[in-house]
Each structure stands twice: as structure tokens, then as C-alpha cells.
Amino acid sequence: MAQAFVTETGSGGTGAGRGGARLQRLWNGLRRDPRIWRRGLVIAALAVVLALVMALHARIPNSIGNTGSLTETFLPWLGVFVPVLLVLALVRRSATALIAVLLPGIVWLNLFGGLLTHKTGGGGELTVATHNVNADNADPAGTARDVAASGADVVALEELTETAVPVYEKALESTYKYHEVVGTVGLWSKYPMSGTKAVDIKLGWERAMRSTVTTPEGKVAVYVAHLPSVRVKLEAGFTARQRDKSADALGEAIADESKLPTVLLGDLNGTMNDRALNAITAQMRSTQGAAGSGFGFSWPASFPMARIDQILVKGAEPKASWTLPATGSDHLPIAARVKLDTSGS
């Protein structure tokens, strides 16, 4: 009886045994298939191209339709093609394609794997938030209350209209004692503000500002900016010349900043991967990349695909970064908590 039992289970009497036997038969079949290496060459080639595009994105030229910047704006989404190619490789039963698909998978993880980990920590004495409220927002008062509910000490708003400004001022006055509006951007603060001025970003009208906020831990320079929008056109590609020019001007202004800790809040109409923002990103840290969890996409609010709203710092340490719930805008508000380095101020 014992001998019979051993023989029966050993032949696949259990589910695990049957599964193992199936895998063994599949492997043996593939190993004896001489076409396993010759099939799926097109899939393998596509996988290699995908890996090269992600690994060498900085070398894609912008000379034709700003193709490089367009690729970098949606670079994380190229990872979607990895599981698609994997499925195709399995369907084709191609060892060559399966091995090739590993390449873009490894490259994507190298670029964005760090964003998948939870880096939010404790500490940080200053909470800031920024929101492109949308000029066509049908409920500015509700949007203002939603942003104030975040508990932020300092709030930046972009795309303010002349008629909506009084609504935001009234809705926020009980929470924020101090505020300034310059053109279409504004800053609300629980702490005193001074030295507020427009920042010239080469537009001909005011869409950026700077103010000194005096917190209990010391002074901090706060910039608010709304860089020009970009467009994707069939005849012109990714048109972003004005955005790029404004980004360079903003970067120059921040580079001339004194030794105060500096925070940049705003809609930059570009992601941290976009080389066009190098004048800014080369000197500042993204709070989302340093202390966030996930990609923190902020636009469009209905189905976020890119993080074009940013909180960047220098002379400060990001401790937490997160996306706030949707409001009446087509952007999501974002917030961060930072620790200021006031030793040099």
C-alpha cells in the first residue's frame, strides 16, 4: 500500500505535481524546438529599440519638432510597452524575444524604479502647496477652500484671472494673513512676506514672482511661476520655444538668489526629465523625486499623465511630497513638506 501511494503522488497526483510536470513538458518541448531562437526577431528588435530610446533619450535631437523634449515628457509611459512585448514574446514562444524584452525592463527600472518606493518621511517645518487653478474654473471659492484644507503654510496659485482674484482672496483670508498677487500668479502665506516683486521670464506680461517669507525658522525665498504652455501640432511637432526661453530666464533669476533657502512653486509645463528645464533643475531638487511616493502626476486632473506642476527646492531638504485631491481645475494641486537650511541666512 505504501509503495502504491508513493508511485501515485510522484506521477502528479497533487496540483503542484501536475503543474510542475506541465512546466517540465513545456520546457522540454521548447528545448527541442529548433525555431525557438529564430522566431520573434521583430519583437526582439522592437525591444532593443525601446531600450535604446529610454537609455539614450538625452541624445534624441530637439531640432525637429522638439522630439527629444516630447519623448522626455512622457518617458515613464514607455514602460507600458514592456509587458506588451513580453506577452507577444510568450505567444510567439521565442527565447530571443524573451531575452531582448529584459533590456527595456532593466532600463525602465534603472530610470524610474526609485519612484516606486515610498520615500515620505517625518520632519520638516514648512509645508507648501501649489495649484494651477484654471482660468475657466467654475468654482474658485471651493477650489480655494480645498487647497487651504491641505494645511499648507504657504500656497501658490497660478492662472488667476482679474475677476477671480477677489474670490480667492476672500476664501483664503481667514487662513492666510499675508498674500500678494502679481499678474496671473499669487502667493498666500501664514507668515509675513516682504520684498515681493515680479520676475521677468521674457513674456511681456507677468506670470512669475518672488517674495521673502519669514518663517519661525528663518527667511526663505519663494518663487511662483507659470511657464508658457506647450502644444503638439502635426505641422510643427512639440512647440515649446517660448516655454524654453522662459525656463532659462527663470533659472537665471534663481541662480542669482542670495544665500536664503529657495522654494520654487508653480506650473512649469514640463517634467523633470525634460532637458528644456535644465537651467532650473540643474540647481534645484524635486520634492517628488526626493521624498514622494510614485510619479505624482498632476495633469490632466481627469487622467493624470505627467507631472508638469512642480515644487523644487535648494537650501532645503524635502521630507514629504504628495498630490492633493482634484478641485474644479484641470490640474491637481500638489504639496510638500521641507526642512529649511537657514545656517547661511
d(CA 50, CA 85): 10
In degrees rounded to 5, what are phi and psi of residue 41? Answer: -65, -35
Q: How, if at all, do strands 309-314 and 262-267 pair?
A: antiparallel
C-alpha cell at position 41: 526577431
d(CA 40, CA 49): 14
Domains of the chain and CATH, by start? 33-116 (no CATH), 126-340 (3.60.10.10)
Collapsing DSSP states into helix, strand and coil, what is residue 219? strand
C-alpha cell at position 152: 499648507
pLDDT value at position 223?
Answer: 98
Q: Which residues contact 231 (CB under 8 A, 6 or more apart)?
A: 238, 239, 240
pLDDT value at position 18?
Answer: 75
Q: Which residues contact 79 (CB under 8 A, 6 or more apart)?
A: 104, 108, 112
92-112 as b/e, with b when 16 or more CB fall inside 10 Å?
A: bbbbbbbebbebbbebbeebb
d(CA 130, CA 317): 18
pLDDT digit string, tens, across residues 146-199: 999 999 999 999 999 999 999 999 999 999 999 999 999 999 999 999 999 999
pLDDT value at position 14?
Answer: 64
**Measured in Å, how far apart are the chain's first and last C-alpha atoms?**
86
C-alpha cell at position 204: 511681456
pLDDT value at position 6?
Answer: 40
Which residue in this structure is represented by grid cell 509587458?
83
pLDDT value at position 19?
Answer: 67
pLDDT value at position 12?
Answer: 47
Task: Give the DSSP letter string of 229-261.
Answer: P-EEETTTEEE-HHHHHHHHHHHHHHHT--SS-
d(CA 51, CA 82): 9
pLDDT value at position 176?
Answer: 98
Using 50 as the pLDDT threshold, list the residues of the chain that sit under it.
Answer: 1-12, 234-237
C-alpha cell at position 233: 501640432
